[in-house]
Structures are given as C-alpha cells and as structure tokens.
C-alpha cells in the first residue's frame, strides 16, 4: 500500500489527504441531511431531474434485459456528474452565501472542462461495460442476447451462472469507478485543479482509508438500491442526500488548500 501511494506522489503533485474513522460516513449522511433541509427547493430539483431521466430510460427498455442492465449501469456511472450542482449548494451553505438552483448550476460550470473529462472517462467505462455485458449475455444467457425477455427471468436460478458472473464483474468495475470519483468530482467543484490530479487524489484517499470507504461505498449502494426499489421515486430525496454527503466526505478526506 505504501509503495503504491509513494508512486502516486512521484508522478503527481497531490493535495494532502486525511485519515478518517469508521463512523465518518454516518456523519457525512447526517451533515448531508442538514444541507438538504437547508436548501430543499434546489436540492429536490436535482433529485427530480435525475429521477425523470431514470424514468425515461426505464420506459425505453422495459422488456429488454440486456439493454436494461447496460443503461442502468450507465445511469449509475454518470449520475455522480449530475451532482456537481449539489456540491455547490453545500459549498455555498458552508461559506454562508445565499444560493439557488440556477446559481448552483452556474457555479458548477466553473471547472466544466475538467469535469467533462471525467465524464468522458466514465462514458468510456460505460461503453466497455456494455460490451462486457453483451459478451456475458451471449455466453451465459442461452447463447444469445434476448430481445423480448422480462427482466426478472435474467436473474432467476435458471441463469444463476450469468447472475453471479455479471454481478461480480459489475462490482469490480463499480469499485474502480468509486475509487476514482469518491473525491474527484466534489474537488473539481471546489478547486481549480485538473481532472487527473482530482482522480488520483480520490484514489489515494480511498486507498488510505480502506475500511471506512468500504462502508461508505456500501451505504451508497444500499441507499441507491432503496431509491431504485421505489421505482426511482425515492431518488428525489436520496440522490441529493448522497450528493450533499459526498461533499462532506471530500471535505473530511482532503486537506484544505494552503
């Protein structure tokens, strides 16, 4: 672990990162809830937008299992980008400045070029996962990608091999994406840094705080799953909650600028 972190320091000039405790993720959620309550209108507007996008995707792939898994993964990979404005809401509240949805949206574009670069990286990962999913379906799901198969049939005992392998591959990919974005996107909303520095800082912070960051990742998965289980309605509140909490995760994990 120390060797890997030293290699990062040799190749990148990274901001200092901090050690956190196992209970830190719970504190982030509590602070995130306070931010949401302080800015309910702007925060819930972001939740409504991401939910509307999710509903649109669901309407397009209601009975197409392969496309459902692909678009669901892409939705989850790219959704953190939509939280850039939520980070601004937390930042402005922290600084004691008044804010609004339009104000936060405008401020989120200050480092748009570098944020877009991370968006490109996440899009490429989503495309790669689409290809991997297609291969897994072809190999393990009856030899062909189903065209009009109900979603639930892809995850029954009849296709247990597919389910286990698909979930394992998805978990590995999700862990990698989480390590790159846990800190990087809030950091780009806060500082004039390049995307590579932001992603490497995120990777370092996650590597240095394995147990609490694992708990944070599990909480994100559980809360997101709760939102999905309510036919996305829960995301109206849960998405901005996670966005606000992610801001506080960044503030705890990365030392302030000198």
Task: Write out pLDDT tens, residues 64-87.
Answer: 555 666 666 667 677 788 889 999
Q: Binning pLDDT at 50, 70 and 90, where does residue 90 land?
A: very high
Mean pLDDT of 44-53: 93
Q: In the structure encoding, which two tokens stand for residue 233, read together? A: 């309605």
Please check whether residue 163 is in contact with residue 69, taking contact to mean a CB–CB distance below 8 angstroms. no
Report pLDDT for 181.
92
Q: Binning pLDDT at 50, 70 and 90, where does residue 26 land?
A: very high
Average pLDDT, the chain: 83
Other CB atoms within 10 Å distance of the CB of residue 192: 9
- CA-based nearest residue to 242, from 131, 38, 55, 90: 90
Mean pLDDT of 24-41: 97
Q: Binning pLDDT at 50, 70 and 90, where does residue 11 land?
A: low
**Cα 141 from Cα 148, distance rounded (Å):** 13
Task: Write out pLDDT tens, residues 182-193.
Answer: 999 999 989 889
Helices (H) and strands (E) in the chain, counts: 12, 0
Task: Write out pLDDT tens, residues 106-158.
Answer: 887 777 888 889 988 888 888 888 788 777 777 766 555 444 455 555 555 56
Instruction: Locate the domains of the chain by residue range.
Output: 20-253
H or E element in which residue 212 lies: helix 210-229
């Amino acid at each position: 672990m120390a060797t890997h972190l030293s290699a990062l320091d040799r190749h990148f000039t990274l901001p200092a990162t901090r050690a956190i405790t196992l209970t830190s993720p719970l504190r982030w959620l509590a602070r995130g809830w306070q931010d949401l309550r302080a800015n309910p209108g702007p925060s819930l507007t972001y939740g409504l937008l991401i939910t509307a996008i999710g509903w649109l995707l669901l309407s397009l792939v209601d009975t197409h299992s392969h496309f459902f898994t692909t678009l669901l993964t892409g939705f989850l990979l790219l959704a953190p980008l939509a939280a850039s404005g939520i980070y601004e809401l937390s930042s402005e509240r922290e600084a004691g400045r008044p804010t609004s949805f339009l104000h936060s949206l405008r401020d989120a574009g200050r480092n748009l070029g570098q944020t877009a670069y991370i968006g490109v990286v996440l899009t490429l990962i989503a495309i790669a996962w689409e290809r991997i999913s297609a291969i897994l379906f072809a190999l393990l799901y009856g030899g062909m990608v189903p065209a009009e198969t109900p979603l639930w049939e892809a995850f029954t005992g009849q296709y247990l091999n597919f389910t286990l392998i698909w979930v394992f591959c998805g978990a590995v990919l999700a862990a990698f994406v989480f390590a790159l974005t846990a800190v990087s996107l809030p950091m780009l909303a806060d500082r004039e840094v390049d995307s590579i520095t932001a992603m490497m800082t995120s990777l370092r912070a996650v590597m240095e705080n394995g147990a609490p960051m694992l708990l944070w990742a599990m909480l994100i998965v559980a809360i997101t799953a709760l939102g999905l289980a309510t036919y996305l309605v829960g995301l109206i509140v849960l998405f901005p909650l996670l966005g606000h909490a992610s801001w506080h995760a960044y503030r705890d994990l990365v030392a302030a600028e000198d």
